Amino acid sequence: MSSYSHRVEPSTLRLADIASVRQGHPFRGAIAEVSDGPVRVIQLKNVTASGLHEPHALLRTRLRPRKEPEWVRHEDVLLTARGNRPVAALLCSPPPDTVCTPHLYVIRVTSTCTVLPAFLAWQLNQPPAQEQLRRQSAGSRQKSVRKIAVEQLVLRLPPLAQQRRIVAIARAAQLECSRLEALIAARRQEIAAVTARLL
């Protein structure tokens, strides 16, 4: 009997079946920047498919909430709620006392035996999930993804072992891209320096 007959087909679930979804901290108006503030804030510009952009440089502020803020945690998945292309990012050891703006959804896996947070972030950035989110986006000029659309998102979840392999391959590809981009940037600087000397 071929090994193909033993292959386990991915299960199909809604995101709400395996994770909770909430919006970020309910800031009202502009966020006051406080250079020595104890609270860090993740904004739309900080979120990329490869993770947080310059997490050490997050905006700092102070909060005076009536109750304890809902801090983001390690392995939370952030999803941008605005823009033409929703972007998901896996949080890896975020700074303590960090929140995000309400323009981001915080997705927290509740069924760890079903999905890896890293795999969830990866799948949210893939064309099938992106197409589902685009179809459900509201607004003509500034697209906005509704919470219900995120919760109803249909996912294909293979066994955890296969999820780990996919995440490992994706990370290796991402590292290769980063190295190539760094090499291209170095070559451009080299060419610019040669051009400046000769011309």
Q: pLDDT tens digits, residue range 86-142?
A: 999 999 999 999 999 999 999 999 999 999 999 999 999 999 999 999 888 766 566
Whether residue 147 is found in the same domain as residue 199: no
Question: Is 186 domain-assigned?
Answer: yes
Provide the domain limits for residue 175. 159-199
Tokens representing residue 183 in the block: 């090499």
Q: Tokens 């310059």 — which residue?
A: 54
H/E element holding 185? helix 160-198
Of 19, 31, 75, nearest to 51 by C-alpha is 75
Residue 134 lies in a domain: yes
3 assigned to some structural domain: no
Digit-coded pLDDT (tens) for 33-68: 999 999 999 999 999 988 888 888 899 999 987 788
- Assess whether 141 and 63 both reside in one domain: yes
CA 80/CA 24 separation, integer angstroms: 10
Tokens of 52: 């947080």
41: its two tokens: 């804030």
Q: Does the global pTM surpass 0.85?
A: no
For residues 65 and 91, membership in a common domain is answered with yes
